[in-house]
Structure 1
Amino acid sequence: MTRTFTRFACIDWSGQAVERPKGIAVAVAEGREAPVLLDHAWSRQDVADWLIEQAAAKVDLLVGFDFSMALPFLDAGAYLPGWPDSPADARALWAAIDDLSANDPHLAAGGFVDHPDIARHFRRHGGLEGDLFGGGMGRMRLTERACREGGHGNAVSCFNLVGAAQVGKSSLTGMRMLHKLAGRVPVWPFDPVPDKGPLIVELYTSIAARAAGLGKGRSKMRDAAALALALAGWGIDAPVLARYDDHATDAIVGAAWLARAAEVPGLWHPSGLTDEVAALEGWTFGVP
């Protein structure tokens, strides 16, 4: 165990280019108690402000986000090979996304994706596929390949911005938010784990759902019975929700799982996580 946390949060994120995406949901658990869904119409800036408040209060909060916190680097020796200004590490990547998207409201990242040199790497709506996308599922980080190869879930490429399963938009907006939080809220494994206060990790809600006993293909919980089944194995009574959608239920199960997974030492020291990987690509907490 790296350190002790008293509160655990899971934030289901969204890349929708509106002020208050319906896909953002925040659930918080006190220790191993049943998570509570925070009733709020969240904006991305609201989430950032909430985290800054937690840091100011030095709350021992472990918070998981379900977006990828970097683009692939190790497979090609660069995030955006062929672009002279391709960032050197993850923090420089976050800064570049924020800088190029400065005119996008609500922490959206359209300016980054629309850059003519960068657009060449993405698969976009309207049948647009950049000549450097690479075909197939697209490029993946080491942790995403480890997730798929280890049977932990069907991780997908951030360079794909098309389809229901895409995570590119949410990841790019998430990285922009991480840049805004730099120096105020540490992010594992890019930063050292602090002795106190909040810490952000990347998680994959399908891993949480499988740990809850939901089999492959049954990870989406859209009613009270499905949520109750997911939490029953942990001896938790499911909270009554005003809405039972993927976002709310994912956040609740993710927070409950995180409270238990944080106590597993091996998850803090996955076999593939070297200093280089930590600085360039990060890691999904829960992928061993």
Structure 2
Amino acid sequence: MNEQGEASELLFPAELMTIPASYSEPCDQAGHVERFEYDTFEAFSYGDQTQPLTKNAMVYVPYGYDASKRYNIVYLMHGGWSDQTTYLGTPEAPSQFKNQLDHAMAEGDVEPCLIVCPTYNNTSDEDSGDYALALELTARYPNELVNDLMPAVETAYSTYAYAVTPEGLAASRDHRAFMGFSMGSVTTWHIFENCLAYFRYFAPSSGNAGSGAYWASAVERQGFGAEDFLIIGATGTEDFNGGAFSALMSDMAANPMFQAGDGEPGTNLIFRVGEGERHDGYAANRYIYNALAFLWH
């Protein structure tokens, strides 16, 4: 609140926040990681649904989770040479980033939410290590996400979806985000391209695709407009993909569909560059932390 007692406007920080070092230690108010199994189909023959697959995702459940309450939900995709355990670890061996999430929520930096870490790996855990194959799988991932994972996970956990039908999931899009770094960022762009009906918030980082004109047409093709989404993009000055990602952000900012800013009313594109950041896990966690800290406050 400001001095006049009016609600103040939350703006994205001019410089990316650093995750406090103390957040890496275990937290007294700790959430937990659960392994979530669900049924889907092989990606390349998905339309025929002739090859069933059972896959699993890691789900972060915040401290004090109460199934009688509703929670915002984030889908967070890993990059290349990685899998669903990359961000959160496993129930048996949680990651340092899981500790950081615990502290961030306990300290009020991040609104308590559900975080789902799935994988675009298909028939092999090694798929993400094949660059060309990974590109194909990220493009096909919206099928699995919308038809299989989202209905399954949002049945098991309490979100803002009043039903796990297309209508119920669409009605709760304001409470759902998709994020990812590197190849996870490429996945995020494919979700933006195909799934605006179900997601309002997107946080791609250090993984580019398309152009300003291409993404503007994707918004229009899905029947949405500039007021219907927010993209929070990030990369680093020392990231090998930083130049290309920054060029994409500039191209989008020059397109009338996208209104670049700091989160003020009308903004639908926020972009930050981390000084000295490389294409690594430290940068990925920092970008995700900053995006989470902005949403739903």
Give TM-score scaled by structure 2 length. Answer: 0.25
Tell me which protein shows more strand as a share of its residues.
Answer: 2
Which structure's relative contact order is higher, taking Cα pairs within 8 Å and 6+ residues apart?
1
